[in-house]
Amino acid sequence: MAATLRKMKINEANMCAPGGPAADAAAIRARVDAVDWTRVHAELDAQGWAIVPHLLTHLEADAIADLYHQEQGFRSQVIMSRHGFGRGEYKYFSYPLPPLIQALRTAAYPRLVSVANRWHERMGKDVRFPHDLAAFLDRCHRAGQVRPTPLLLEYAPEDYNCLHRDLYGEHVFPIQIAVLLDQPGEDFEGGEFVMTEQRPRMQTRAMVLPLRKGDAAVFAVNSRPVTGVRGDYQVKLSHGVSKLLSGRRHTVGIIFHDAA
Ligand SMILES: [Fe+2]
């Protein structure tokens, strides 16, 4: 999108919601509440991921993507090539999170707790998750996982993100969210969100998530249970992004556990 047009849209978004990019926390909460969580849960159980279409409006997506080039509001920047993570860069938000991100993180967490707890039970893991995000973050913080993990990623042509798992310490909430902030085919080409699933004694399965601008991918962080003939077994998942062919691609990632 042309810079002027984008700027115009941002101003419009800010006018609608004083206090930050479309920072209407009540609207975000209402939108999260309106999601068909029964379908999301069923798809998470069946394949380890689900798409929530239009979780953010295009104005909100533009407003968040534009935060990337602000100096303030971030605790660190990672240049992926320096760590062997791929090519491209991302920044971790600092606390307090932008109101829209905070609202999304707080509202989505309780909608996913039942799946997280059921997965843990089925995988024979003892940890259970409390029903609100503040209580879970308190647990992370007491264990020294105090740094915020929500992040903003920016990809330019040739950039990509190697398959990985977003683990930042002992405490791991098993589901996370990523929202695509640009339109495939218009703002960028390539750069597909890819997941792999490693099954015991079987070949690895690859999955491409068909995201559009403003859509959220809700997906397994690390592992999930699968029903087999002799009971449940665990599969391991990873996610990444294929090479961007042209344009710019931004994503906001919402991870529920904080980092050590
Ligand atoms: Fe990630």
pLDDT tens per residue across all 260 residues of the chain: 444 444 444 444 443 433 445 458 889 999 999 999 999 999 999 999 999 999 999 999 999 999 999 999 999 999 999 999 999 999 999 999 999 999 999 999 999 999 999 999 999 999 999 999 999 999 999 999 999 999 999 999 999 999 999 999 999 999 999 999 999 999 999 999 999 999 999 999 999 999 999 999 999 999 999 999 999 999 999 999 999 999 999 999 999 999 99
The CA 166 to ligand 1 mean position distance, Å, reads 5
Residue that is written with structure tokens 């791991």 in the block: 172
Give 15-74 pLDDT, tens digit per residue.
343 344 545 888 999 999 999 999 999 999 999 999 999 999 999 999 999 999 999 999
- CA atoms of 118 and 20, how far apart (whole Å): 36
Per-residue pLDDT, 3: 44
Going by their DSSP bridges, the two strands 205-209 and 193-198 should be labelled as antiparallel
Residue ranges of domains in the chain, CATH in brackets: 3-254 (2.60.120.620)
**Whole-angstrom distance, CA of residue 8 vs CA of residue 74:** 24
Q: Residue 180's pLDDT is what?
A: 98
Query: In this predicted structure, what is the pLDDT of residue 23?
Result: 53
Query: In angstroms, what is the span from residue 229 Cα to ligand 1's centroid?
Result: 32
Rounded to the nearest angstrom, the distance between the alpha carbon of 163 and the centre of ligand 1 is 8
C-alpha distances (whole Å) from 201 to each of 26, 140, 204, 221, 235 are 47, 34, 9, 21, 11
- Tell me how far the alpha carbon of residue 102 lies from the centroid of ligand 1, in angstroms: 18
- Three-state DSSP at 204 gives coil
pLDDT at 26: 87
Non-local CB neighbours of 13 within 8 Å, separated by 6+ positions? 21, 22, 59, 60, 62, 63
User: What is the CA(217)–ligand 1 centre distance, in A?
Assistant: 11
Q: How remote is the CA of residue 252 from the centroid of ligand 1, in Å? A: 10
Q: Are strands 188-190 and 244-247 parallel, antiparallel or unpaired?
A: antiparallel
pLDDT computed for residue 25 by the predictor: 82
Q: Give 12 Cα–ligand 1 centroid separation in angstroms.
A: 31
Pairing of strands 151-155, 188-190: unpaired
Gap from CA of 165 to ligand 1 centroid (Å): 6
- Interval between CA 239 and ligand 1 midpoint (Å): 6
Which tokens go with 67? 């935060």
Structure tokens at 7: 């700027």
Cα(211) to centroid of ligand 1, in Å?
A: 15
Give buried/exposed letters for 122-139 (b at 16+ CB in 10 A, else e).
Answer: bbeeeeebeeebeebbeb
Ligand 1 centroid distance, CA of 167 (Å):
9
* Per-residue confidence (pLDDT) for residue 36, from 0 to 100: 98
